[in-house]
Structure 1
Amino acid sequence: MAAREAAGGGSGSGAGPLPGRCAFFVRRKRRFCKMLPAPGRRFCGEHGQQEKENDRKRIPCPLDPKHTVYEDQLQKHLKKCNSREKPKPVYFVQDINAGVKEVAEIPANQVTLSSLSKEELENLIIKLKKASNGLELDLKEQVLSHQALEEALNDPKNGDSAFKHLKQQASILGNMEKLHLLGPGRCFVEFGAGRGKLSHWVDVALQDIENIQFLLVERATTRFKVDGKHKKRDSIFERLQVDIQHLCLNKVPILEKEKLPVVGIGKHLCGAATDLALRCLVESYATCCNEENEEPAPKRSKNKAEGASNSLNDDDNERNKEDFKPVAGIVIALCCHHKCDWTHYVGREFFRSVGLGPVEFHYFQRMSSWATCGMRRTVTKASTNEESEDHTSNTEEHDQTYSKTETGSDALQGLLTVEERKEIGSLCKLVIDHGRIRYLQRRGYKAALQYYTDSSVSLENVLLTAVPETTT
């Protein structure tokens, strides 16, 4: 009872603390703390301030007030606190993939969709439909699978949510195989890796292949990682805890040494993160590699006997340079277009070419959430986002987002039907994605959009793929 009173009163279970565990009642969780106290103590270190016989005072950590520390050990704690500012890694380059910030940004006092007049909304829809003229509106269905996941897909122990994730991962691998991206001598970079499940299945698919590496990019510290499963394998797995916005792949030691062609992958890479990843691959990494390949060759000996040999070597070197593609391919499952950002967006040139700008982009990204209009019950019942499984710091993000968007705004009810909003939302997503396709095409890639899974498996079911254009 004393522990309950110390916690501000308790409600819920009347059972006491577990034997040998902390006696502090955590009201928010409606249970006693499960941490181990020191020998002879009733409370763990975090809740030691509740120990009446303990005169040592605990204070909130100045770096992160969510946890406390003994006041007399503050300086020692600050040196090892997980919230302390850590040295930047060598591959951290401030805003290298952020894009150029323009002077004419979206006004800070931009009105919401629900505040638009009927005429303003109709004008936006006219601009949207005009911009979509000539675009391929019906995407090709490319729902594939891969034998690497066959056993897992047939495992009855997997629940409905796990099964849906497996189907998506299987289709992503199937599309990678069709594009001949599952091969040796490559580095697979998973953006927004979370637990690293997608890389795990790629590794399983390439279990008999040598000389492959994996870089798992995730800005958050992630729990329940599956990286430990790869320790017995020859594959090299390395985590890069960095925001994609600041990631310079060319300075990652493994790539700096090996110069392997990269395959960029991602499952449900939210909004602007997709644009940051594309710029990271095709601008910062590919450009740096191409510049290094264009460096002049060292001077050769003029000896005639060596001349012929050097000539052959030069031809081989030139051929190798031509065959080397810094970015062998890109396969990213898209999502959360309402989280895109004009500053980071790679398709700004396409928007301008059809008479659009940052203001229209702002409204289109908001309207993109209408694609799930009327489906909120479906989303809630069948979570389809990887966050609920892999990105533990953002649990059920898609579910929360769809229920908070302006899809059901009363102000819009009289202007557009549910079906009209869904159609317009899908069109917004398509136009935004097409800007990404144009961006890749201008940089020498054969890029495409396709449905990689059924909407009953995931409402975010569009896959962006790109491979270098072959020159004849």
Structure 2
Amino acid sequence: MAARGLPGVAMAASQPEPEPGRCAHFVLRKRRFCRMIPAPGRRFCGEHGHEEEQNDRKRIPCPLDPKHTVYEDQLQKHLKKCNSREKPKPVYFVQDINAGLKDAAEIPEKQVPLSSLSIEELQNLITRLKKASNGLELHLKEEILSHQALQEALSDPKNGESAFKHLKQQASILGNMERLHLLGPGRCFVEFGAGRGKLSHWVDIALENVEGVQFLLVERATTRFKVDGKHKRRDSIFERLQVDIQHLCLNKVPILEKKKLPVVGIGKHLCGAATDLALRCLVESYTTCCDGKNEEPAPKRCRAAQTEVAPHKSAGNESTTEDHKPVAGIVIALCCHHKCDWTHYVGREFFKSVGLGPVEFHYFQRMSSWATCGMQETTGKASTSEDTEDQTHDTEEHEHTLSRTASGSDTLQGILSVEERKELGCLCKRLIDHGRIEYLQQQGYKAALQYYTESAVSLENVLLTAVPNPSVIPEPTI
């Protein structure tokens, strides 16, 4: 039997020269010649021109992206058109508008890993965790629902196990949206961490006969295999916003600025700190006045703008705890608490109220990964992405990241049993999530946590929901 590497060798031997009119550089990684077209009279393309004999022009790495090179004498011309150059900021970009903590003195210093703590220090952390969790609702209600829009897909035998799990989660999210009366006309659905946009796709199908529906898909990374082209309806508008949630000012998105539609914020497995950024984006920056200078930090509340966005609301009532709200509801499947960040966390006041601070938060968010200690066994065969930035065909799950974290040194094997770690990890998750619930309640929302799918489908199976309290939203504008 031939060795595995022989086909590439045979190919190179059978093709000692590049195709006519193509670059003569052989790309070892791809086992073929470069397919770029060199300039007339040259054997190599511009990228591999340094291999040209008697070439007196020097090529240097591009200062914007050293992965490619450029002729030194054409550097200034190249910088003006390089694909890695900084693009003009969109109108809805406002630097750090949703970032949260601005006081540098309160930003925690880097902490030592859990594995470096002594047994006494670890026991002290666990004691403080249990004390802070006293009185919290730790046993969540199950709201495992479904929706007619996904029944055909759920019954399709062509879908594999991984696709089926995604569909069950999406169906339950839509079922919970229907339970909260959020699937209606004249609304703008903002999907945070949209990835391929599948959740919005199913919401669109569920609202097939509903008019005046808009979708904003927020994703900071360029995403492949998007399902945007599957949207058949002519009266529903889909728009992608390629921006980090940290800098997104919804007030400045043209369609919301023009129509002032009530917004429903949605997300499936919104990773770590992205959840906190999205919550602040919805309940704070969407009801405040954005400074016209994109490079400035998040501005203070502007009562005049609050009146403009929600004219039914009293201009003097900044607590926004009564009357109408521009955000009709929030439905977010939570994920990756170990990637939370004290700087962005919306529940800092709650942590302080129970005697905790940034140091404890750091350790608790690391310990939260213990809740998924069994993840490696249950999801080893699933096709998942390692991070939200990964440009694979599936950017909606982060279970692989969790299994890697849970099996790392932070598990402190030999000190705590697997079951003890799982219990403490779940306790950390609930504590972090309770801070989010209290934050939403202080902003005038009726917020809750519930299990929206079985743990066999996803160990990240908690759904955060919020509706205005009292549940009154602006009349739809169609």
- Superposed, 1:99-138 pairs within 5 Å as 99-105=100-106, 107-138=108-139
Q: CA deviation at 1:421?
A: 0.4
The alignment partner of 1:78 has SS state of helix
> Is 1:385–1:458's contact at 8 Å kept on the other side of the alignment?
no
1:361-382 Cα distance to aligned partner (Å, 9 max, x none): 1100010011111432323322
The alignment partner of 1:97 has SS state of coil
The alignment partner of 2:377 has SS state of helix
Distance 1:144 1:47, change over 3 A: farther
Structure 2 distance, partners of 1:151, 1:51, is 59
Distance 1:199 1:221, change over 3 A: same
**How much identity, in percent, do the aligned residues show?**
79
Q: Does residue 463 of structure 2 align to residue 467 of structure 1?
A: no
Aligned position for 2:205: 204
Structure 1 distance, partners of 2:211, 2:191, is 19
| Higher helix fraction (1 or 2) | 1
Structure 2 distance, partners of 1:195, 1:58, is 38
Aligned position for 1:428: 428
The alignment partner of 2:345 has SS state of coil
- Superposed, 1:150-165 pairs within 5 Å as 150-165=151-166
The alignment partner of 2:175 has SS state of helix
> Is 1:24–1:43's contact at 8 Å kept on the other side of the alignment?
yes
Structure 1 distance, partners of 2:377, 2:239, is 39
The alignment partner of 1:264 has SS state of strand
Q: Which amino acid is 1:358 matched to?
A: P
Q: Does residue 241 of structure 2 align to residue 246 of structure 1?
A: no
For normalisation by structure 2, the TM-score amounts to: 0.81
1:187-234 Cα distance to aligned partner (Å, 9 max, x none): 111111112111111111112211111111111122222223337622
- Superposed, 1:279-358 pairs within 5 Å as 279-288=280-289, 291-292=304-305, 294=307, 324-358=324-358
Aligned position for 1:449: 449
How much is the aligned-residue C-alpha RMSD, in angstroms? Answer: 3.4
Q: Does residue 365 of structure 2 align to residue 365 of structure 1?
A: yes
> Is 1:106–1:362's contact at 8 Å kept on the other side of the alignment?
no
Aligned position for 2:89: 88
Aligned position for 1:170: 171
> Is 1:161–1:382's contact at 8 Å kept on the other side of the alignment?
yes
> Is 2:385–2:394's contact at 8 Å kept on the other side of the alignment?
no
The alignment partner of 2:174 has SS state of helix
> Is 1:185–1:212's contact at 8 Å kept on the other side of the alignment?
yes
For normalisation by structure 1, the TM-score amounts to: 0.82
Distance 1:381 1:129, change over 3 A: same
1:86-107 Cα distance to aligned partner (Å, 9 max, x none): 1212111111111123455365
> Is 2:370–2:411's contact at 8 Å kept on the other side of the alignment?
no
Aligned position for 2:297: none
Q: Which amino acid is 1:458 matched to?
A: S
Between the two proteins, the alignment pairs up a number of residues equal to 438
> Is 2:114–2:410's contact at 8 Å kept on the other side of the alignment?
no
Q: Which amino acid is 1:372 matched to?
A: T
1:126-172 Cα distance to aligned partner (Å, 9 max, x none): 11111111111111122222222222222233222222222211111
Distance 1:199 1:42, change over 3 A: farther
Aligned position for 1:97: 98
Aligned position for 1:317: none
Aligned position for 1:6: none
Q: Does residue 8 of structure 2 align to residue 13 of structure 1?
A: yes
Q: Which amino acid is 1:405 matched to?
A: T
> Is 1:106–1:359's contact at 8 Å kept on the other side of the alignment?
no
Distance 1:96 1:67, change over 3 A: same
Q: Which amino acid is 1:155 matched to?
A: D
Of 131-140 and 357-366, the range deviating more from structure 2:
131-140
> Is 2:251–2:286's contact at 8 Å kept on the other side of the alignment?
yes
Q: Which amino acid is 2:362 matched to?
A: H
Unpaired stretches in structure 2, ≥5 consecutive residues: 290-301, 313-321, 473-478
Q: CA deviation at 1:33?
A: 6.4
Q: Which amino acid is 2:327 matched to?
A: V
Unpaired stretches in structure 1, ≥5 consecutive residues: 1-9, 299-312, 314-321
Of 38-47 and 203-212, the range deviating more from structure 2:
38-47
Distance 1:406 1:148, change over 3 A: closer
